[in-house]
Amino acid sequence: MGVGMPKKSSPRKANSKTKKARAKSLTLAKKAAAKKVAEAKKKALAAKKVAAKKAAAKKVAEAKKKALAAKKVAEAKKKALAAKKAAAAKKAAERKAEADRKAEIKRALFEEKERLRLEALAQAEEERRAKEEAAAALAALGTRCELSGFYVKPSPSELTSATVGQLREKLVKAKEELERKANEFLAEAEALAREREGGDTQFDEESGDGDTINTERERDLLLSASTQAVVEQIDQALERIKKGTYGACTPAGRAIPLERLEAIPWADVCVDCKSRADRRR
């Protein structure tokens, strides 16, 4: 072999170098691929972290939004409850004011009614006292006679029972006599009427017999009525005897003198009251 000539490598050594080169290239390729994978993973992790952060931020934002909405709802409910309470309080205050107003009206009406009642009682008491004073004054003056208008002091009748019995007998006899006369006068009047209606007597304008009969009939009727009126007075006198008030002047309450009762047993007015009444006419 000459000097300076490159040595020829053997095929084995060349294959070995080639394998080494390939292995190194493969290693480098694997490292590059691994690096790429690592970088991809790193990017994916970073992207995942970013997505997680965004998702977390979104959840937080949604949570805040929900919390804000819930807060608004709570505030709205609180306001509504406060408004409801205020409305209820206002209504209660209005009811109380109305109840107070009605109570005040009722109290005022009661006080007015009580005032009127007390005034009525006071007026009634004043009128009662006035009546009592007037009655006392009249009692001091005496009894007012309805016929004469004068005040007289009543005086009880001093007639004894025997005298009253005698006067009663006179009344009974007078009644019988007057009833008989009244019936006679009435019978005469009826007879004259039958005579006039029967046509037994001829009447003409010159004779005047018809007028005479009429006059007599009217006179008989008048006498019968006046006699019957006295009979009624006698009945009243007999009733006074039963009641024990006989002999007293009916309007004045004074005793009627015995002389007057003997003259007119049915008299119920004393001479003084009758004369004063006659003078007033």
Does 188 fall in a domain? Answer: yes
* pLDDT for res 254: 86
Phi, psi of 248 (to 5 degrees): -110, 145
Identify the pLDDT of residue 198: 63
The answer to whether 154 touches 141, Cβ cutoff 8 Å, is no
Say if residues 153 and 273 touch (Cβ distance below 8 Å).
no
- Structural domain contains residue 88: no
Burial class (CB in 10 A: 0-12, 13-18, 19+), 135: exposed
Q: What pLDDT shows up at residue 60?
A: 87
pLDDT value, residue 203: 46
pLDDT by 10-residue block (mean), the chain, 281 residues: 55 76 84 84 85 86 88 92 93 94 95 95 95 78 66 77 95 96 91 74 50 86 93 96 91 88 93 78 64
The Cα 238–Cα 45 span in angstroms is: 149
Q: Is residue 21 part of a domain?
A: no
Total domains, the chain: 1
Exposure on the CB side of residue 170, measured as CA atoms within 13 A: 15
What pLDDT was estimated at residue 142? 64
Tokens 């609180």 -> residue: 78
Say if 189 falls within a structural domain: yes
Q: Report d(CA 154, CA 52) in Å as an integer.
A: 134
CB 141 within 8 A of CB 151: yes
HSE toward the beta carbon, residue 66, CA cutoff 13 A: 6
Distance, CA of 166 to CA of 175 (rounded, Å): 14
Q: Is residue 12 part of a domain?
A: no
Q: Does residue 26 belong to any structural domain of this protein?
A: no
The answer for residues whose C-beta is within 8 angstroms of residue 183's C-beta and 6 or more apart is 224
Tokens 């009644």 — which residue?
175
For 161, the domain range is 151-198+209-280
Q: Residue 219 falls within a domain, yes or no?
A: yes
CATH no. for residue 194? 1.20.120.910
Residue 76: count other Cβ atoms within 10 Å of its Cβ. Answer: 10
Question: What pLDDT does 3 receive?
Answer: 53
Q: Does some domain include residue 172?
A: yes
pLDDT of residue 194: 85
pLDDT at 181: 93
The pLDDT assigned to 23 comes to 83
CB 108 within 8 A of CB 235: no
Give the global pTM. 0.45
- CA-CA distance, 76 to 35, in Å (whole number)? 59
What is d(CA 139, CA 159) in angstroms, rounded to the nearest whole number? 25
Name, in order, each residue with C-beta under 8 angstroms of 50's C-beta and a sequence gap of 6 or more. none
Written as six digits, the tokens of 211 are 């007028």
**What is the reported pLDDT for 207?**
47
| Calpha distance 38→77 (Å, rounded) | 56
